[in-house]
Structure formats: structure tokens, C-alpha cells
């Protein structure tokens, strides 16, 4: 398959690019600094430097792909973003980028869309524990609100979509065995980026979880 990964230089983006390449798929990595991408895998990789909030750039990138994986986010310090806003990324990058991707996919005829959101948005909001409720309210309130907009755009898109909601992301190998749930249950409060990359790759290259939001955590 030909898969476009938008947000490819973030932690989850790099993980899904590597996973897809390892499975023999053709991958296009799209981000503002995609040409600098280094992944622990070899294969058919193309890079495009571009901004997801640029509709023209997104339109050109989407053409010719069987599936699109979105791993958009803000990599800056969460407290700084909460107090002053992001310095290098649009505050609404998730919803704006997703809106651009959906429009481009409809025009190009691509239908398979997999979007990384976060656990605690939408149907899983009521399942957050006290610590995570405080974390959302104090540190990532605006970012969570943009995730909510993003998920609404995806659900209304008419595409073959899947929303992936990981718990707290880590590079800890101890959190590398994923637990996937369609009803919001979790195994633990964290999950490795490698594990999320596997789930994103699974969803983008199969018909599993069509029209479904899935929670991803590490097995307890």
C-alpha cells in the first residue's frame, strides 16, 4: 500500500513510518522538516516538507495514496503552550490540518483515514481518573479542545476512518505491549510510541476498526 503519514517527525509519526516500512509498504512522510527524518528502517520512503495547515500542500501530498495517517500535535512544553500559546505551531494544528486532509481525500478519491487523538477526549472523557482530569484542566485544556474539534471533523467526514486514542506516550520498553479496546478500557496509564505505531499501521492497512474510536494503552 501507499500510505501518507502527516506529522511524520513526531514520536508517533516516526514510529508508524518505521513500522509501515518494515512491513514493506510505500510511505510518504509529510511534515515541516520531513527531509530531516531518520527512522530505524529501510524501504520505499519519500519525504515532503510542508505544513498541514497549508491546504495546497496537503492537497498535493494526498494524491495517489491508499491511506492517510494523521499524527499531528504540538511538541513544545505543555506548560509554556498553556500560558503563552505555541511558538512554532498553530494552536489549532490538529483541527485545521485534519480539515485540510479530509477535503483533499474527498477530492482525490482516497478513503482510508487513521487519526491519532488522545485518551480522555469524547467518549473516554468520563473514564479519566482524578490525576488525568487535573492534567487536562491545568495543562492541556486548549489542546484537548482542539482534539475534540478534530474528532468531530473525522466523524463527519464520510471517509473510512479510525480514531486512535493512546494513553500517556512514553519510550519506556516496559510499555511496549499494546492493549487495544473499542470500549475505553485501559491496561495501564501509559503506552510506548512503538506500540502506538504498530496500532496505527494495523489500522491504516486493514479494514479493522472502521468507523471506530479505539483506546490504546500498555498491557497491565
Instruction: Report pLDDT digits (tens) over 38-70.
Output: 888 788 999 999 999 999 999 999 999 999 999
pLDDT value of residue 25: 97
Model confidence band, residue 138 (pLDDT cutoffs 50, 70, 90)? confident
Model confidence band, residue 134 (pLDDT cutoffs 50, 70, 90)? confident
Tens digit of pLDDT for each residue in 155-194? 999 999 999 999 999 999 999 999 999 999 999 999 999 9
pLDDT value of residue 153: 98
Q: Does the predicted model carry a pTM greater than 0.85?
A: yes
pLDDT value of residue 186: 95
Tally the domains of the chain: 1
pLDDT at 88 over 90: no
pLDDT above 90 as % of the chain: 81
pLDDT value of residue 5: 98
160: which 3 cell numbers? Answer: 473510512
What's the CATH code of the domain at 47?
Answer: 3.40.50.720
**Which DSSP string do the residues of the chain spell out, in sequence order?**
-EEEEETTTSHHHHHHHHHHHHTT-EEEEEETTGGG---S--SSEEEEE--TT-HHHHHHHHTT-SEEEE-----S-HHHHHHH--SSS-TTHHHHHHHHHHHHHHHHT--EEEEE--TTSGGGGGG--HHHHHHHHHTSHHHHHHHHHHHHHHHTS-SEEEEEEE-EEE--GGG-SEEEESSS--SSSEEEHHHHHHHHHHHHTSSTTTTEEEEEEE--
Range of the domain at 191: 2-218
Contact assessment for residue 122 and residue 151, using Cβ atoms and an 8 Å cutoff:
yes
pLDDT value of residue 220: 79
- Report the candidate in 63, 10, 71, 68 with the shortest Cα–Cα distance to residue 36: 10
pLDDT value of residue 4: 98
Amino acid at each position: 500500500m501507499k500510505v501518507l503519514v502527516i506529522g511524520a517527525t513526531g514520536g508517533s509519526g516516526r514510529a508508524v513510518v518505521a513500522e509501515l516500512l518494515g512491513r514493506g509498504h510505500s510511505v510518504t512522510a509529510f511534515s515541516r522538516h520531513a527531509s530531516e527524518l531518520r527512522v530505524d528502517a529501510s524501504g520505499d520512503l519519500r519525504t515532503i516538507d510542508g505544513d498541514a495547515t497549508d491546504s495546497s500542500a496537503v492537497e498535493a501530498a494526498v494524491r495517489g495514496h491508499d491511506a492517510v495517517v494523521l499524527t499531528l500535535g504540538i511538541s513544545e512544553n505543555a506548560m509554556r503552550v498553556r500560558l503563552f500559546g505555541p511558538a512554532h505551531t498553530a494552536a489549532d494544528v490538529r483541527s485545521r490540518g485534519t480539515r485540510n486532509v479530509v477535503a483533499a481525500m474527498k477530492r482525490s478519491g482516497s478513503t482510508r483515514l487513521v487519526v491519532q487523538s488522545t485518551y480522555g477526549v469524547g467518549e473516554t472523557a468520563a473514564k479519566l481518573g482524578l490525576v488525568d482530569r487535573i492534567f487536562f484542566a491545568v495543562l492541556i485544556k486548549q489542546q484537548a479542545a482542539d482534539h475534540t474539534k478534530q474528532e468531530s471533523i473525522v466523524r463527519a467526514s464520510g471517509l473510512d476512518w479510525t480514531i486512535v486514542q493512546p494513553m500517556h506516550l512514553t519510550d519506556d520498553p516496559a510499555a511496549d505491549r499494546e492493549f487495544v479496546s473499542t470500549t475505553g478500557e485501559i491496561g495501564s496509564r501509559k503506552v510506548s510510541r512503538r506500540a502506538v505505531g504498530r496500532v496505527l499501521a494495523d489500522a491504516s492497512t486493514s479494514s479493522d476498526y472502521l468507523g471506530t474510536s479505539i483506546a490504546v494503552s500498555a498491557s497491565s
